Every structure is written in C-alpha cells, then in structure tokens.
C-alpha cells in the first residue's frame, strides 16, 4: 500500500487566517494559481522544535510573491508565528513546513486580480529526501535534456510553483532512466543544479558552486557557503562547465529538503564521498540541530 494521499491525512492546516481541520483545506477548481501558475511557496525543515532559517524562508516567500506581482497581507513576522502555530497544532517538532501564497478565484484569465494573495501553511513529518542508504555512497545524477531558463523568460529568482514543471519533467525522466535525480544545465550550457537542490563541487581542495543567476540562490547554499568560510575552505562562485564537473574530486547537493547530500555518480563518472563533503555535512547537521 502506498503512502496516505496528502488530502486525506489528519491534522490542521492554516488557511487565510484560520486553523482548519486538514481535510477542509481545499481550493476551488477555478483558482488562478492552478490554471496559470500564480503560486509561490516555501519548504522549511524544523529540527527539535526549531524551524531552521524560518525568517529567511518567509522573507523569500514575500520576495517570490512580489516578483509575481502578488501581495501577501501577512508580515514576515506574522508568517513566522503562523508556522510555529501550525507545528504546535499538529504536535510536531521535527517537520517539514510548507507555506504558500496563490491567486484565487477572484478572476480567471491571464490578467490577474489585484486582490491580496491567499496564504496557507501546512506541515508534516518528512524523513530524508533521498533514500538514507544512498547517503553513504552518494546519489546518482544524469544530465537532463531540460535546462534552467534564461531569466528573461521566467522569474527564476522566485520560488514559483510554475517553474517546478521543468524540475518535475527532469526528475521523472532521470528516475525512469534509473538515476536518483537530474543534473540540470542552464540555458547557456553551464552546470546549474539538480531538480530541487543546488550543487557544489570540490577540486584540489577548493569548493566551487555555480553563480545562481538563473536558478534559486538556496538558503541552504548560503548556509553552506558561510560554513565553508568558517572552516577556512576556499570557495569560488563561477560559471562551471560540464567537463569541470566531470573532472571534480567531490560533488554534493544542498537544499532544505535534500539537506547536504553527496553525489556518487554522474552518468558514467563515479565520485567518492570525500573529506570536504564529510566535513561540511557534519557542520550542517550541527547547525540545524543547534
């Protein structure tokens, strides 16, 4: 038997100012966000009762909404409190929080309503993003035919639901080919990220990560950069070519859901989980549990 579908679980979801029983947190079929992709969201992990980088995530929700021209009627501080209230209502201490804001049923059509965005926050227990047994030897990636778009074609700095169509296509194709996830290049052919996490590589003890100029500058990415500075690991942000990645000593991914996940294989090339990956992994675990 598969997992219980998300609309049939028990608990509470906060929607537009009210803590609703889980099964009542519904939207109408004629919802702008569903038909035209006007929805932005966040993913936040809480460890030992504390949501990690909570304010940074809710600030990004506001920023993402602003990029799509949507107005959220709740301040970042209010959203932080709502997240804590949702965790308490569901009696969860280690959880994944999902705030989202979307355009509703006020108007249908490409032109969108001026009405403030609808807002909801859910949370649930979510274990490791990738199978835990793969964490030791690293996950496998395969290069996707889908690329991260030119920022002139899509609001790439927004964590906008519509952009995830590309990631879903890439991830499903990678899984069908027997890989854990997709390696995505950008519209220029530079290495970008996976379907749902940022990418780092190590070469000769130097840490490299792509410049996030057409994909999300992840909050975990920024945390890992700060940890690398603390550990006096040299870090270079640059446009990375595919052959540079293939010649790397170590590769890993970062993201709220993925946390810090080593990569053990990209297509025909194997990587070992090396000392810098292990060191940063340990530092990240300590930071989220602090």
Ligand X SMILES: Cc1ncc(COP(=O)(O)O)c(C=O)c1O
Applying CB under 6 A, the span of 30-38, 77-85, 101-109, 252-260 interacting with ligand X comes to 252-260
Applying CB under 6 A, the span of 10-18, 26-34, 120-128, 253-261 interacting with ligand X comes to 253-261
Catalytic residue among 53, 148, 159, 171: 159
Q: Which residues contact 63 (CB under 8 A, 6 or more apart)?
A: 157, 158
Q: Is 159 a catalytic residue?
A: yes
Residue 219 sits in the site that holds ligand X (CB under 6 A): yes
Give me the DSSP letters along 18-75: EEEEGGG----SS-HHHHH--EEE--EEEETTEETTHHHHHHHHHHHHHHTT---SS-
Contact map string, positions 37 to 76, toward ligand X, x by CB under 6 A: ------x---------------------------------
Q: Which residues pair with 182 in a beta bridge?
A: 142
Residue 255 sits in the site that holds ligand X (CB under 6 A): yes
Place of tokens 């996707």: 144
Residue 221 sits in the site that holds ligand X (CB under 6 A): yes
- Residue from 197, 225, 227, 266 touching ligand X (CB under 6 A): that is 197
Distance CA 112, CA 241 (A): 39
Q: Which residues contact 90 (CB under 8 A, 6 or more apart)?
A: 11, 12, 123, 124
Residue 98 sits in the site that holds ligand X (CB under 6 A): no
Applying CB under 6 A, the span of 29-37, 174-182, 190-198, 274-282 interacting with ligand X comes to 190-198
- Residue from 196, 210, 262, 264 touching ligand X (CB under 6 A): that is 196
Q: Which residues contact 201 (CB under 8 A, 6 or more apart)?
A: 207, 208, 209, 240, 244, 245, 248, 249, 250, 251
Residue 193 sits in the site that holds ligand X (CB under 6 A): yes
Distance CA 223, CA 210 (A): 15
Coil vs helix vs strand at 3: coil
Min CB(189)–ligand X separation in Å: 18
Residues in contact with ligand X by the rule CB under 6 A: 43, 167, 193, 196-198, 215-216, 218-221, 254-256
Active centre residues (catalytic): 159
């Amino acid at each position: 038997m598969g997992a219980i579908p998300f609309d049939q679980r028990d608990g509470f979801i906060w929607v537009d100012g009210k803590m609703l029983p889980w099964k009542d947190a519904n939207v109408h079929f004629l919802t702008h966000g569903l038909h035209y992709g006007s929805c932005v969201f966040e993913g936040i992990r809480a460890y030992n009762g504390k949501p990690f980088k909570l304010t940074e995530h809710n600030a990004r929700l506001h920023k993402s909404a602003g990029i799509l021209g949507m107005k959220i009627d709740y301040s970042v501080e209010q959203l932080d409190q709502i997240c804590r209230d949702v965790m308490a209502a569901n009696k969860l201490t280690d959880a994944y929080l999902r705030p989202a804001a979307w355009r509703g049923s006020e108007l249908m059509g490409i032109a969108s309503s001026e009405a403030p965005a609808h807002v909801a926050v859910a949370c649930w227990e979510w274990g490791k993003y990738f199978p835990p047994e793969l964490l030791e030897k690293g996950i496998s990636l395969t290069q996707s035919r889908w690329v991260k778009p030119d920022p002139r074609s899509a609001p790439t700095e927004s964590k906008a639901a519509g952009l995830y169509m590309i990631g879903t296509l890439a991830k499903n194709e990678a899984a069908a080919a027997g890989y854990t996830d997709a390696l995505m290049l950008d519209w220029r052919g530079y290495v970008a990220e996976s379907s749902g996490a940022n990418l780092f590589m190590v070469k000769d003890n130097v840490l490299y990560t792509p410049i996030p100029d057409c994909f999300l500058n992840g909050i975990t990415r920024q945390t890992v950069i700060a940890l690398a500075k603390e550990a006096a690991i040299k870090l270079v942000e640059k446009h990375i070519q595919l052959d540079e990645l293939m010649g790397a000593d170590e590769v890993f991914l970062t993201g709220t859901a993925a946390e810090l996940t080593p990569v053990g294989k990209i297509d025909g090339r194997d990587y070992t989980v090396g000392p810098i990956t292990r060191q940063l992994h340990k530092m990240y675990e300590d930071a989220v549990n602090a």
